[in-house]
Amino acid sequence: MEITITEKEQKGKRPADSSLGFGTIFTDHMFNMDYSPEKGWYNPRIEPFENFSLSPATMMFHYGQAIFEGMKAYKTSDGSIQLFRPQENFKRFNKSARGMCIPELDEKFALDSLKTLLKIEKDWIPETPGTSLYIRPTIIATDPFLGVRASHSYRYFIILSPVGAYYAEGFNPVKIWISTEHVRAVRGGVGEYKAAVNYAASLYASEKAKKQGYAQVLWLDGVERKYIEEVGAMNIFFVINNELTTPELNGSILPGVTRNSVLHLGKKWGMNVSERKISVDEVIAAHTNGTLQEVFGAGTAAVISPVGEIRYGDKIMNIGNGKPGDIAVKFNNAITDIQYGRAEDTENWIEKVL
């Protein structure tokens, strides 16, 4: 398929790297493509970033049939532009599509068209270490119809946003709050897909956590409310008695690309690595007996995010004297060094754009 390109006449200006937050500024262009049952995916185009005009009856507005991805483009010190494991994101995008009755994309075409968009927007990629261009591929259901069923038509789009740190805390440890009352997803549901509805389902508890001074919610499993699942926008790792462990993928946890990268590197470095059930009781016991060495989140937005405090009911567990742990630092350095081209891409994780 040929991509039609319409360039914006008056280009915008990228703000200073130091002023970048997360997800508020968008680049000049976006990618759009439509789907109909007759044509399949058709009319791929790069055009100026602009508002959509959609019927108020558009199914996505009512029933939330929408999926998305999140990845980043990095500028290296020699000025080249690269992506980190983007094939994994498109694979997961298609898995989310299947789970939400959305037609799949051709993964190679999806990656090629993202690269074409990035080449046009290359001046929007910030340069300071820690900054990047966040990439948001999204598919929405577009039938104007009020009955409940899977839509027949869809829009796929990609928007780009130059970003700085995801958390105001930067790499400083964040505080997270275990929700005892609310759950995000259950096995058999759609928790393992990057579906918009999972994020809507997480808002009530997230707002509650924020009011109490916590950055995010640490979710427990939706059935027994006993086992740790993940954080709002990150997977979670514990170092307990020299074992690096993370909750096993059970159908309600998002299979993070960063999670997979941490597991891979941990094994390669000869650490005692496991994916298993981790109960909140085990974490409390480890904290009490002094074997809870480190806790950190792993996700594209913040890469590695050390956790300095976990609250569960009235119990507050402090971890690591307010400082990032050595293991969190080691993973953060190893992954960001590859992403920013400071280290050799020994794992073949880098996809060059320019």
Q: List interacting residues with ligand PLP (CB under 6 A).
A: 70, 230, 233-235, 254, 256-259, 299-301
| Comparison of 46 and 178: residue with beta carbon closer to ligand PLP | 178
Q: How far is the CB of 235 from ligand PLP (least distance, A)?
A: 5
Sign of CA dihedral 300, 304, 308, 310: positive
| Comparison of 14 and 184: residue with beta carbon closer to ligand PLP | 184
Burial of 42 (0-12, 13-18, 19+ CB in 10 A): exposed
Q: How far is the CB of 48 from ligand PLP (least distance, A)?
A: 27
Long-range contacts of 12-15 (CB under 8 A, 24+ apart): 14/123, 14/124, 14/126, 14/162, 15/162
In this structure, what token pair is assigned to residue 331?
Answer: 């993973």
| Comparison of 113 and 235: residue with beta carbon closer to ligand PLP | 235
Write phi, then psi, for 219 (nearest 5 degrees): -85, 145
| Comparison of 46 and 273: residue with beta carbon closer to ligand PLP | 273
Q: How far is the CB of 191 from ligand PLP (least distance, A)?
A: 8
Q: How far is the CB of 214 from ligand PLP (least distance, A)?
A: 16
> Is 103 within 8 Å of 97 (Cβ atoms)?
yes
Closest CA to 75 of 351, 345, 341, 261: 341
| Comparison of 278 and 301: residue with beta carbon closer to ligand PLP | 301
Angle between helices 326-339 and 257-268 (to 10 degrees): 110
Q: Left, alpha or beta for 241 (phi > 0: left; psi -120 to 50: alpha)?
A: left
Residues 6+ apart with CB under 8 A from 232: 202, 206, 216, 217, 219
| Comparison of 256 and 320: residue with beta carbon closer to ligand PLP | 256
| Comparison of 189 and 299: residue with beta carbon closer to ligand PLP | 299
Q: How far is the CB of 256 from ligand PLP (least distance, A)?
A: 3
Q: How far is the CB of 50 from ligand PLP (least distance, A)?
A: 26
Q: How far is the CB of 85 from ligand PLP (least distance, A)?
A: 9
Q: How far is the CB of 344 from ligand PLP (least distance, A)?
A: 22
| Comparison of 93 and 154: residue with beta carbon closer to ligand PLP | 93
> Is 160 within 8 Å of 125 (Cβ atoms)?
no
Residues 6+ apart with CB under 8 A from 218: 176, 177, 178, 179, 228, 230, 231, 236, 310
Residue least distant from ligand PLP (Cβ) = 256
